[in-house]
Amino acid sequence: MTAPIKDYLKRSTGFHAARWAEPVVCEMTGTGRRGIVFDDAPAPTLPGTAMRKVAPALPEITEHDALRHYLHLSQMTMGMMGVSLFGTCTMKYNPRIGERAALEHLRNLHPLQDASTLQGVLELYDNFSDFLCEVSGMDQFVFQAGGGADAAYTHACVTRAYHASRGELQQRDQIITTIQTHPCSPATANTAGFEVITLTLEENGYPSLEQLKSVVGPRTAALMVNNPDDMGIYNPDIKEWVRIVHEAGGLCFYDHANFNGVMSRLRARELGFDACMYMLHKTFGAPKGGGGPAVGAYGCAEHLVPFLPSPLVVKDGDSYRLDDDRPDSIGRVREFWGNAPQVLKAYAWARAMGAEGLREAADISVLSNNYMDKRLGEVRGVTRSNPDITVPRMEMTRHSVEKVTQDTGITIFEISIRMTDFGIDALWLSHEPWLVAEPFTPEAGELWSKEDIDYWIDVFEHVVTEAYENPEIVRTAPHNAPIHQLTTALDEPDQWATTWRAYQRKHVS
């Protein structure tokens, strides 16, 4: 191996993930052991055929076994224990203070408690709504949506209710989006029953006004877009877009999940949007949890407030209550009023940042991304999307190793896996469809130090050099992971097994 290895990279070549050879928990049956016991109670008489005949095939292990097993599994999860610059997800520190406070203060609250006993958490909701209203220019935020996509879905439902209230729902059956808008906008619009129109990119890196105008009309129910997109390109016509859609009678929704780079500089309402969404598990420091629990904080201007999901936290004088008596409301997109622990964690993060912290975080994330652009641009075979657009990108940039792949046969997927050998969790490549070949999309955010970012790029460069000089080591990676590459054809019906039962039926007997 002749690739240049920086000094501290050399130290990290010693990295090896924990490898516990942990059995699947379902294998640990038939031991007669117990992990939790309860007081005895007599067997009840159950009606008809309600009684279970065969006991569920669950493990029989001690409490210690269960704990040790799952801690072993946690140790075999890289997460942010190394460096993760996973794009479109804004990898932040997830402050432990929020975790502790949520566990301590919220775990024993029931959502149907009398409002007089929920004053703290309701005040939290009200305070944080106010905070996000200042940040976005909107008039009200709600936290019921269980993720960013669920907030997009909330918007699709609000759109239905808004047009229905004007007797126009039947007529307005189309939602317009762009190919560089996150898939959750078209997907939720479709689920809500709308026809989806997807605009394509043109040479500036975004669709032209002409393209937009050609599809806007009396059937337009809403526009759902994000801006900047995950290539780091900002659509400067966006105010005009909003004007055109409004003129045609449609609503405008800003998926502001790519907010990190523009915090304190852009307010969705000032651009004319009727509603917007922030991901608390992305921009506001709540943990991602490998996929939630999450919150898509949905905010809107006055004219859409009547349609917001219920219940709404309302301030009456000095106290708070939950208002569920709102005839125009879309009702629930999810039971109760949201992932309160995540709201608390995000609120804690936001308060610790304050206005100056938000500005600083935005500055650092855009600066770091441009620094990465600079350094990645010097790596052999790396190009970036829309090479003609030379202005600085926002908080992330789409790059490509197409040239490396042409030269060496090594794909971005293989490079990404090889990087995990150095403690860098797999990269975000790109949403489908890939508009750029062999893409990858790092996002530095504000957490990571310059040394972390340099380390990430050094590893990347090292692996690209390996691709040219020793491709086999890349192709056969990972070498330092808990397990080796998967080999089963998981998309084949006779091969996939999403449960141990299915596995035993298909692969053992």
Ligand X SMILES: Cc1ncc(COP(=O)(O)O)c(C=O)c1O
Among 2, 10, 14, 108, binds other proteins (CB under 8 A): 108
Task: Find all residues with CB under 8 Å of 141, minimum gap 6, and list them.
Answer: 128, 129, 132, 133, 297, 298, 299
262 binds ligand X (CB under 6 A): no
Q: Does residue 175 belong to the site contacting ligand X (CB under 6 A)?
A: no
Answer with the entry of other proteins, ligand X, none that 12 interacts with (C-beta below 5 to 8 A by kind).
none
Q: Are 137 and 270 in contact (CB under 8 A)?
A: yes
Ramachandran region of residue 271, left (φ > 0), alpha (ψ -120 to 50) or beta?
alpha
Among 174, 177, 180, 258, binds ligand X (CB under 6 A): 258
Per rule CB under 8 A, is residue 149 in the interface with other proteins? yes
Q: Is 213 in the site for other proteins (CB under 8 A)?
A: no
Nearer to ligand X, 286 or 467 (CB): 286
First to last CA, the chain: 45
Could you tell me the sign of the dihedral formed by the alpha carbons of 215, 308, 163, 183, in that order? Answer: positive
Residue with tokens 């046969």: 409
- The vertex-374 CA angle with 369 and 378, nearest 5°, equals 135
Considering only 82, 98, 148, 445, the residue that binds ligand X (CB under 6 A) is 148
Question: To which H or E segment does residue 6 belong?
Answer: none
Residue 225 sits in the site that holds other proteins (CB under 8 A): no
Q: Is 304 exposed, middle or buried (0-12, 13-18, 19+ CB in 10 A)?
A: buried
Residue 177's contacts (CB-CB under 8 Å, 6 or more residues apart) are 185, 186, 189, 196, 197, 198, 199, 223, 224, 225
**Residue 135 binds to other proteins (criterion: CB under 8 A):** yes
Nearer to other proteins by C-beta: 268 or 464? Answer: 268
Tell me: does residue 380 bind other proteins (CB under 8 A). Answer: no
The only residue of 241, 259, 337, 440 in contact with other proteins, by rule CB under 8 A: 337
Exposure of 92 in the CB half-sphere (CA atoms within 13 A):
28
Residue 342 sits in the site that holds ligand X (CB under 6 A): no
Which window, 179-187, 208-216, 248-256, 465-473, contacts other proteins (CB under 8 A)?
A: 179-187
Is there binding between residue 436 and ligand X (CB under 6 A)? no
Do the Cβ atoms of 214 and 234 come closer than 8 Å? no
416 is a contact residue toward other proteins (CB under 8 A): yes
Q: Candidates 118-126, 236-244, 251-259, 402-410: pick the segment binding ligand X (CB under 6 A).
A: 251-259
CA–CA dist 259, 366 (Å, integer): 11
Give the residue, chosen from 78, 83, 85, 89, that forms a contact with ligand X under the rule CB under 6 A.
89
CA nearest to 417, candidates 356, 368, 486: 486
Q: How many CB atoms lie within 10 A of CB 110?
A: 9
Crossing angle of helices 450-469 and 340-377, rounded to 10°: 50
**Site size for other proteins, by CB under 8 A?**
216
198 binds other proteins (CB under 8 A): yes
Six-digit token string for 148: 């960013």
Neighbour-count burial for 255-287, b at 16+ CB within 10 Å, e otherwise: bbbbbbbbbeebbbbebbbbbbbbbbbbbbbbb
Residue 363 contacts which entry, ligand X, other proteins, none (Cβ below 5-8 A, type-dependent): other proteins
**Stretch of residues binding ligand X (CB under 6 A), selected from 28-36, 205-213, 250-258, 384-392:** 250-258
Cα–Cα distance measured from residue 452 to residue 492, given in angstroms and rounded to the nearest whole number:
40
Note whether 147 binds ligand X by CB under 6 A.
Answer: yes
| Distance (Å, whole) CA 402 – CA 464 | 12
Q: What is the nearest approach in angstroms of ligand X to the Cβ of residue 430?
A: 12
Cα dihedral value 477, 479, 482, 484, nearest 10: 50
Of 122 and 248, CB closest to other proteins: 122
Among 1, 13, 15, 103, indicate the residue that binds other proteins (CB under 8 A).
103
Q: Is 446 in the site for ligand X (CB under 6 A)?
A: no
Stretch that binds other proteins, among 32-40, 210-218, 246-254, 434-442 (CB under 8 A): 32-40
Least distance to other proteins, CB of residue 379, Å: 14
Query: Residue 91 binds what, of other proteins, ligand X, none (CB under 5 to 8 Å, by partner type)?
Result: other proteins
Decide if residue 279 touches ligand X (CB under 6 A).
Answer: yes
Contact by Cβ (8 Å): 342, 295 = yes
- 209 touching other proteins, by CB under 8 A: no
Closer to other proteins at the Cβ: 4 or 291? 291
- Asked whether position 317 contacts other proteins by CB under 8 A, the answer is no
Q: Within positions 269 to 288, which residues make up the interface with other proteins, using CB under 8 A?
A: 270-271, 279, 281, 285, 287-288
Total binding residues for ligand X by CB under 6 A?
15
**Is the CB of 468 or the CB of 503 nearer to other proteins?**
503
**Residue 445 interacts with ligand X (CB under 6 A)?**
no
Looking at beta carbons only, is 129 or 258 nearer to ligand X? 258
When the beta carbons of 257 and 444 are compared against ligand X, the nearer one is: 257
The token pair at 242 is 């909003």
Cβ partners under 8 Å of residue 168, min gap 6: 249
Q: Choose between 392 and 409: whose C-beta lies nearer to other proteins.
A: 392
- Applying CB under 6 A, which residues contact ligand X? 88-89, 147-149, 182, 184, 226, 255, 257-258, 279, 282, 294, 296
